[in-house]
Structures are given as C-alpha cells and as structure tokens.
Structure 1
C-alpha cells in the first residue's frame, strides 16, 4: 500500500496514469466541524487486476501540492471514474475551480443500467465484483496520522473494485445505447452553480409555512448573514444557528439584545458577540426592505389544479415504462412531476432529455387523449386511440 507524500511522487504517478484510458478516484474528507470539506486523502488506481498501481495520496503531507492531480483532471484523454462524485467534485471545485473531464460516475451509470436509485458502492461491489467490502473503517477520523493498515486497505478498496465496476457498466451502456443518458445527468455535477451558494439565495433552502413577503424578507436577510458568517469562518451553518431558530427569529423580529434573548431555539453563542449583532442587523434590514425589493413567495403549488384521475393514470404509465426500461421510477419522475404534468405544467425534468424519450412523450400523449392504457395479463400496455 503505497502512500504518496511529495509533489514529485504525485507528479510521476499522474504522468503514468495519463497513459491509460481511465483512472479511478475517490476521496476521504471531514466536514462535521467546517463549512468546506477538509480533504484528508485521495485514492487513485490505474487499470489492472491487482493493487500494484493503486496509491493513496496524502494531501496533509507537508509541502505537497495537488497541482499534478488537477493537471490529470484536465487531461481529456483520460476518463476520471468516481462513485457518487458530488461531494468529491465540490472539494476540487472549491480548491482549484477544476472539474475532472471527462467524468464517469458509476452511481449514475448504475441507475441508468437498472441497479436502482442511488445504489451504493458496496452493492455494486457485491453484484458486479462478487465480493464484499470491509466496513470496519467507514467511520473514522481521516485527518489523524498515521493511518492504520486497516484504514489504508479500506480506502484503497474504494478505487480498486471501481475499475471492474466501471468496465462492466461501460459495456452495459454501450450495449443499451444509454451513454448519452449518463452524460445528461453528469451535466448537473459539472455545473459550478451546483456547488456555489450565494448568500442572497440561501433563504430559498429554508422551509417556511408563510407567504408573507415581509416575513420572507427577514428570512432572506438572516439566511444571507448566516451564509456569509459560516463561509468567512469556515464553520457549519448550523453552528451559527439552525433553520428552526432562523424561522423563529423571523417571527420574533428582535431589535434589541433583550428581545433576542427571548428566542428559545437560538444557541448560546448566537446571543452575544458578532452573531447577535449580525442577527439584529439582518432583522433590521428585513424590516426596512421596500415592498418592491421583497422576495416573491412561491405560490406555484397553490395555483396547481391536479386532475387526480389523470395523475393516477400517469403513475400507472410510469410504472409500466420503468419496468420496461429497467430504470428506477424516481429517477425519471418523482410524484411532484406527475402531479405537475396532470395539472398542465410542461417545464419539468420528466419532460426533457432522455426522460422524455422513456416516459415524457407518452405522458403528454396520454394527457392529450391520444393513447390509452390496457392490462394484458400482468402487463400494462399502451394503446393508440
């Protein structure tokens, strides 16, 4: 189990990896106590059947630079293979504004190939590699040194089995002609907007039960302050204050420290110092917000008029189509999309790209009365009207 601790060794390995059609990649990181993930380990493996060309890279080693790895990521002649890549990609994007290109995510590919929704790595190892994964080091502090042999073996297994999984899924995609489906899904993972939270947009993630524009203006200011504070100090946003405390503060509208002290859900740290000052300023900004500058409540769900019978028919059609395609139903159209289609909405993911081919086109034809559904034995069939 080789661990690379110098930039020179990492550069030599990446130069060799660049000679191969693909490299498998995984990371270990910590995020419990920080806003941004702390990269603790990178695992890499070139094609092969043993562990001789698989390595661990220690980003915490004194003086090491990840520049050779990022150069490999930008080399479009080498496919970079991950499993459930989102958090890994966020680390690299935040660190160096780089996305591995071209990218292959085995979790996305497995869903498209009929392995179910958000299938786990261990499941793929068991079903494709016909072996198991040692889970004993799953919950560990990867920032501590030295790493034990058990930790190293666990980490390496995340990229050595990945080679066989990638080759298997690549072949399946080629046979089925669904490689484009995977490419469409990966466009979201390689979009910078996926990993960028602008403070002024942070309020959209906070769940509230009111359409009051004034209330939402205060929520917006409180969420923006929390996001700015958390990013600047690299602490989790919930360490500043949690969503339920934020909503409570928007309702209380405190203008003094005494009024702030009445908040039941605010942590002790939030009742003094910079956080308390920030809260009071955010509330004041929300109260002073001009009507034309207040956020627009999302009333789309209020206006939706769902045809329940049509929604039920769409669910039957979706079940038939997903069984035929061997793809998880939720991957194609969640319940909200089905209700939206039944209510006449057309700007929905289920009606775009490969989803439209598999389900959306017939869903629209069903809404227009151009097709009907009939049962033939245990199967549901589409009938032209």
Structure 2
C-alpha cells in the first residue's frame, strides 16, 4: 500500500462512554501509527458541548461523521438504555452502508471496526468484503465471560443469582452468579437470547481489540495469548482515555471549587451518563486528576474505571447494570483497588454501609494500603502504552495486519 499506510472505518454506538475510548483509539492509531480513520458515530445528543468538543480534539487523519438520529417516536418512551442503543444503531444501518459504499468507491479500506452494540453491521461488512473487527471497550474478564457464556448456560439451568458456587473462568477471579452480566440474569427475556446469539458470533470476527492491558488482568491475559481456532486473535490495546482535557473541561466550574478544598479531602461521586442528577457533562478526567480527590464512588462503567486507575484514585463500587457488577468483582478481588459495600439479600445497599466503606478509605486503616495498591496499576498502565510495552506491541501487531490488507 502506498506510503505503507492503512485506512479503517469505525462504527460507534451511542453514549459518551462508548465514544471516548473509540475516539482515543482512533487518535492513537492516527497519531502514532499513521492510520487514516473514518469514524461513524451514533450520537444520542449531537448538540452536546462535550460531544462537539471531543470531535474538535480529533487529529486531522480522523474524519468524524455524525449519523442521523432516529426518526421521532421510533424509540418507545421509557425504553431501557440498552434498548435505546440497539434501536438507534439499527436505524442508522442504511446510512452506514451508504457511507461505506461511497468510501470504497473513493479509497481502499483495510478493515471495519465495530463495537458490541453495532454487531448488526457485521453482516454488512461481509457483503462489502471488509474484514470486521470488534472493539470491546470492557475488560478481559467480561470478554472471557462472553466467550464462555454458551457453555456456561448449559451447565446450570437455574437463575444465576441463585448459583451456589462462584463461576470460575480460565484466569479470572471467581465470579458470583449475581455478578454475571445483566443479560444472563433473565433466561426468558429477549435480551438473554440476543446476548447468547452475539456470544456465539464472536468467533466470526477477524480480531477483537480490548480496552485493557495485560498487567491489569494477568491471569486472563495468558490464555488469550495462545492461538485458539475457536476464537479470533485478541489484542489488548488499552488503557484508552483522553490524555488531555479539552477547553470545556479545563474551565468547568467544578474545578474552581475543587481548588479551594484541602488535598485528598473530596469524594467524587458519579454513576455515568445515563440518568443523572447533574444535568451537564462533568469533566471527569480533570476531576480525577485533581489533588483534592481521594476517592471515587463509581458505578464501575469501564471507561470510568480506566480513568480512575490511570490516575491512581481508589474506588468504592456501587454497580448498577450491564457488566458493572463483573467489573466490581474484578476491581475488588483481582486488582484490589476498590472496596465494595455489602448488599442486603434484596440486592440493595444501605446508606450506613456506604458511609462505613467511605470512611474506611478516607480515615481508616485501609486508607494508605488502598492508595498504595492503586499506584501499582497506574504505573503499569503508563508502561503498557510506551514503546515496547504490552499494549504498544499488541497495537503494532494488528496495525501490521491492517497494512497488509486492502479492499
């Protein structure tokens, strides 16, 4: 290929937690590895200042295209976040196909990279002759569960939250049944069957790119390094976060307030971008970098986890849905950079229990030990991305594969 470059098309599903790692992956490939990217984005709020600022920060080799929003009333009122995402992606597919067809008439593409909610576009890639890769913006542990889910559901016929023993996947921390991903908890639901169908199709991908790094999940990394005919190659390219705050972040009013607080005196609380108390986007990365922050009370969305880890901020976990309970188990029992309040039999957590755990980190014996443990994955994350690091080498490997492929 001329200039030994490659051109990729990316498809991102709605939500800033999906877009941030996607844009960072695109930026890294463009700036470090000289890859041209056409980034197709399903945005749930294309006029959001934070969204527009993120697009503005992209390097010139990344061409971002915002796909049309779904027609009015096409998404049922009160639909779950997952349903909203899937319906938005399905609505966009004709526009995606038109864009890819137009691209192929003008340039030569090496691959089409989708995320897990954009899986319906995989068939389109096949029709166009494009190698299709999955970008998986969650940890190795969650991917391991996806790969083993079809076998797992055959081994146990009851409700997973009532599973008597933890699930033991190769290299993973033991996972209680109630911490398995949300779709597996409802065997009679459409979500359950859709999830299993997706899991069985993972083997059809050309490769899987994961937003993690080997040193964070060493037990799972080892079996994933081994060639396996039952699954595609897996590349850990993370941690992918925004390296520099945008102007919107730097001037946010919350930072001025943090400047007036004592060092390591503030608990930062955030439960993601779906449903919220603060009605504007918070500059999370800038907040977590601030010297006054000691602790992050988080829902354990993976983008939030990665931003906390790369800044060495200990966490307290209050997972809500999707794979967040699984992430909490990894952080608590594996990486040991997080404390988790005890739940009642109902699954609820009392305010007194939350307060008790927060005090352990802010004032108790756990304070310094947790902070020290949080520094270890922080340093390992930085090293993984340096030339010669585990994630850098994995990125070079897949980039070389793309540079040898032309459609």
TM-score normalised per structure 2 = 0.25
Query: Quick one: higher RCO (CA 8 Å, sep 6+), 1 or 2?
Result: 2
Where is the helix percentage greater, Structure 1 or Structure 2?
A: 1
